[in-house]
């Protein structure tokens, strides 16, 4: 039992945290402040930047991820499932700050509850926005009291991360851009309240990549991700 927070830390997530921090295949978190300053300089040159939070916690035998359904009031991607996150603000010192700030604004997740363990390579959208996935661990799930910002979020739900490696409850559609054919994957997840959510496109692609890293194995299906997302993700 953790003497300071009165909860037991998952051994599975402790091992995952240690592996991420030691890994050279993903971007480790550094205590060197110059790294954040360098990132800030890069962002000032590239305003088309965003970050999303892949917030993991253990429940039962599953490692789960926090997801949201976007509000129907939004002008873009309304009603779609996404990870908490958004565009970089000028005050953000780095991508981690962007992801944590947006998660707090959207779902009421206190940044102090999240232990960020790694930052993945950016995914680049068709609109040339670089979306940086930030992986963090929520050690104490009970301390998180979800408060959706109703202007941006319709609902908050959780899904097992491993589902994004399985061929169950999944569909795909072939698209083409500039002669390049690729697949977009669709995952369907039913929550305990019997709601069914569709998770697809970039969000699904990011979660496939994250799950491949977390569980150290490729998905059961052919990916054929869009090349414009980032050629470095083709290995997942």
Facing residues of 180 across strands? 177
Question: What pLDDT tens digit does each residue of the chain (236 aa) get?
Answer: 444 556 788 999 999 999 998 875 555 454 444 344 444 445 444 568 999 999 999 999 999 999 999 887 776 766 899 999 999 999 999 999 999 999 999 999 999 999 999 999 999 998 899 999 999 999 999 999 999 999 999 999 999 999 999 999 999 999 998 889 999 999 999 999 999 999 999 999 999 999 999 999 999 999 999 998 975 554 44
At residue 71, the pLDDT reads: 85
At residue 232, the pLDDT reads: 55
End-to-end CA distance of the chain: 36
At residue 46, the pLDDT reads: 59
pTM of the predicted model, to two decimals? 0.88
At residue 169, the pLDDT reads: 97
DSSP string, 36-95: HHHHHHHHHH---EEEEEEEEEEETTEEEEEEEEE-TT-SSSTT-EE-SEEEPPTT--SH
| Domains of the chain as residue ranges with CATH | 11-161 (3.90.79.10)
């Amino acid at each position: 039992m953790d003497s300071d927070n009165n909860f037991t830390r998952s051994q599975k997530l402790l091992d995952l945290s240690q592996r991420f921090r030691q890994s050279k295949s993903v971007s480790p978190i550094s205590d060197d402040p110059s790294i954040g300053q360098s990132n800030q300089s890069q962002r000032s040159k590239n305003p088309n930047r965003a970050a999303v939070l892949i917030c993991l916690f253990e429940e039962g035998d599953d490692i789960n991820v926090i997801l949201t359904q976007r509000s129907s009031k939004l002008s873009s991607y309304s009603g779609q499932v996404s990870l908490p996150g958004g565009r970089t603000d000028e005050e953000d010192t780095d991508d981690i700050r962007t992801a944590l700030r947006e998660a707090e604004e959207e779902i009421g997740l206190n940044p102090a509850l999240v232990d960020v363990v790694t930052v993945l390579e950016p995914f680049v959208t068709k609109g040339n926005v670089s979306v940086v996935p930030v992986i963090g661990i929520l050690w104490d799930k009970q301390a998180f009291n979800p408060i959706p910002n109703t202007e941006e979020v319709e609902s908050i739900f959780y899904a097992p991360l491993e589902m994004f490696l399985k061929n169950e409850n999944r569909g795909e559609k072939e698209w083409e851009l500039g002669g390049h054919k690729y697949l977009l994957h669709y995952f369907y997840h039913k929550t305990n309240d019997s709601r069914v959510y569709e998770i697809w496109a970039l969000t699904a692609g990011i979660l496939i990549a994250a799950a491949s890293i977390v569980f150290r194995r490729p998905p059961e299906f052919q990916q054929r991700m869009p090349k414009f997302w980032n050629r470095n993700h083709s290995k997942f």
